[in-house]
Copies of this chain bind each other. A is one copy, B any other.
Amino acid sequence: MLYKSVSVFVIGTELTRGVIADKHCQVIASQLTQLGYRIDRMVLVPDDGTIDAVIRDCIDTCDVILLTGGLGPTSDDLTRSIVASIAGVTLVRDQECFETLYKRIGDRIWGANEQQTMIPQGFEPVPNPNGTAPGFKGFISKGDRLVACSAMPGPPREMDPMFFDQILPWLAELRGHDDFSRDEYSTFMIPEAKLEELCKSVAGEGIQWGTRFQDLKISLYLVGSSKEARDAMAERLQRLVGPSLVVPGEVLPLDLLTGVLKKNHLTVSCAESCTGGYAAKLLTDEAGSSSWFWGGAVTYANEAKMALLGVKEQTLATFGAVSSECVLEMAEGIRSVSQSDVGFSVSGVAGPSGGTEEKPVGTVWFGFSMKDRANQAVKLQISSWGRDSVRRKATVISLILTSLYINGDDLLDTVRKWQYI
């Protein structure tokens, strides 16, 4: 069969100097393995041109060459010219790429950026919606063989969408897979190793899965068997962890809340302590957020909770800032000052120090207030993988819980199911 053996090259001196860890190999390997490809080697090389010799070493024995990195605008971004040289063609400017980039950066295109619009002759550009450098794909002719070759940008936020949306379907086609069905889920707050264990425990026959770690969620892919079998597996997983932590599709935690807000024509405000503005930042990530987001108070000091939200000194003295009483006053306070429909609050021990036996690091209280509904507070104990992780999880949880609170779900019952966060 044609197009069977794959060599992967990940280019970046920061990788071979150990400054950062490679993020691509496992993603590429697991997906291509599922398509029936065999990965012969995955090579991390510096961006100094070493790749030239490394590709020439193996081009006679492999069917597909995938490259990531080295497509930037700087002098050590050599991927384009090396692929052209190996393919025995010249670099030509792709007019569409040039125009797209020109629209974005105007006359600043002249200079280093112009190089990014060149691709090896005979190759097809692959659009990059998340960066300036397009990728490319095509074939290198070696005697009577064709070697499929694609180059993608190095940064995961540019490479991942390009790989999944454009290169993987191309490789599936080359491999002769008509059926390339794959279901994607977004999972929240479940550690990757735990997710792997849970998947194993509910796996359906012939179903393979893969995960992809992102800042605020982990994507889960199910491949193989039938759509019905994959749905059943996802349902078993949802029963284990709660349906709000595994949702179909490419969903950001923010989407869950904004969906509910838009549907019900509600506005929201937030009062944050340990998350320090992270929830507000996410709530304003999207353009147009002013239609449902009023604003928020980052009340880090106790005095801030009193001055901006009207939290009582007595409450702080008696129960502390990390308490049901405090988050209820915070949520009520931000709703009242803002006249928003919904107010929510977060206060917890982010760590790494500052925990007590009664309130260890990772203890976080969430408060909710909404007109015509009883105020509510819930506590979660977040496993501490460091300050940043506690803050990120607390932020994501606040968005999810607020959407459930607005829906009228039973929050206590929900968080009881969240035993893996």
A53 to chain B, nearest CB (A): 8
Residue of B nearest to A299 (CB): B295
Q: Does A46 contact B (CB under 8 A)?
A: yes
B20 touches A26 (CB 8 A): yes
Residue of B nearest to A284 (CB): B276
A213 to chain B, nearest CB (A): 7
B29 touches A16 (CB 8 A): yes
Within 8 A of B (CB), among A1-19: 13-19
Residue of B nearest to A75 (CB): B196
Comparing A170-178, A347-355, A399-407, A408-416, the segment that makes contact with chain B is A347-355
- How many angstroms from the CA of A277 to the CA of B38 in the assembled complex? 42
Q: Which residues of B contact A50 (CB under 8 A)?
A: 40-41
A78 to chain B, nearest CB (A): 13
A193 touches B111 (CB 8 A): yes
Q: Does A141 contact B (CB under 8 A)?
A: no
- How many angstroms from the CA of A31 to the CA of B25 in the assembled complex? 21
Q: Which residue in B29, B54, B61, B73 is a CB contact (below 8 Å) of A41?
A: B54
Q: Does A232 contact B (CB under 8 A)?
A: no
Q: Which residues of B contact A387 (CB under 8 A)?
A: 285, 287
A298 touches B277 (CB 8 A): yes
Comparing A87-95, A118-126, A255-263, A302-310, the segment that makes contact with chain B is A302-310
- Number of chain A interface residues as a range: 35 or more
Cβ proximity bits A273-313 to B, threshold 8 Å, 1 near / 0 not: 01111111101110101100111111111011001100000
Cβ proximity bits A12-47 to B, threshold 8 Å, 1 near / 0 not: 011111111110011111111100001111111110
B300 touches A290 (CB 8 A): yes
Within 8 A of B (CB), among A383-421: 383, 385, 387-388, 391
A196 touches B73 (CB 8 A): yes
- How many angstroms from the CA of A338 to the CA of B26 in the assembled complex? 49
- How many angstroms from the CA of A283 to the CA of B104 in the assembled complex? 32
Q: Which residues of B contact A296 (CB under 8 A)?
A: 277, 297-298, 300
Q: Does A81 contact B (CB under 8 A)?
A: no
Q: Does A74 contact B (CB under 8 A)?
A: yes
Q: Does A183 contact B (CB under 8 A)?
A: no
Q: Does A99 contact B (CB under 8 A)?
A: no
A40 touches B29 (CB 8 A): no
- How many angstroms from the CA of A48 to the CA of B25 in the assembled complex? 18
10 contacts between A and B (CB under 8 A): A13-B210, A18-B29, A18-B31, A18-B39, A21-B26, A72-B192, A276-B277, A295-B308, A296-B300, A308-B337
A interface residues (Cβ-Cβ under 8 A, vs B): 13-22, 25-33, 38-46, 50, 53-54, 57-58, 61, 72-76, 104-105, 108, 111-113, 132, 155, 192-194, 196-197, 200, 210-213, 269-270, 272, 274-281, 283-285, 287, 289-290, 293-301, 303-304, 307-308, 337-339, 350-354, 383, 385, 387-388, 391
Q: Which 4 A-B pairs have the closest CB atoms?
A: A18-B30, A276-B284, A277-B280, A18-B29
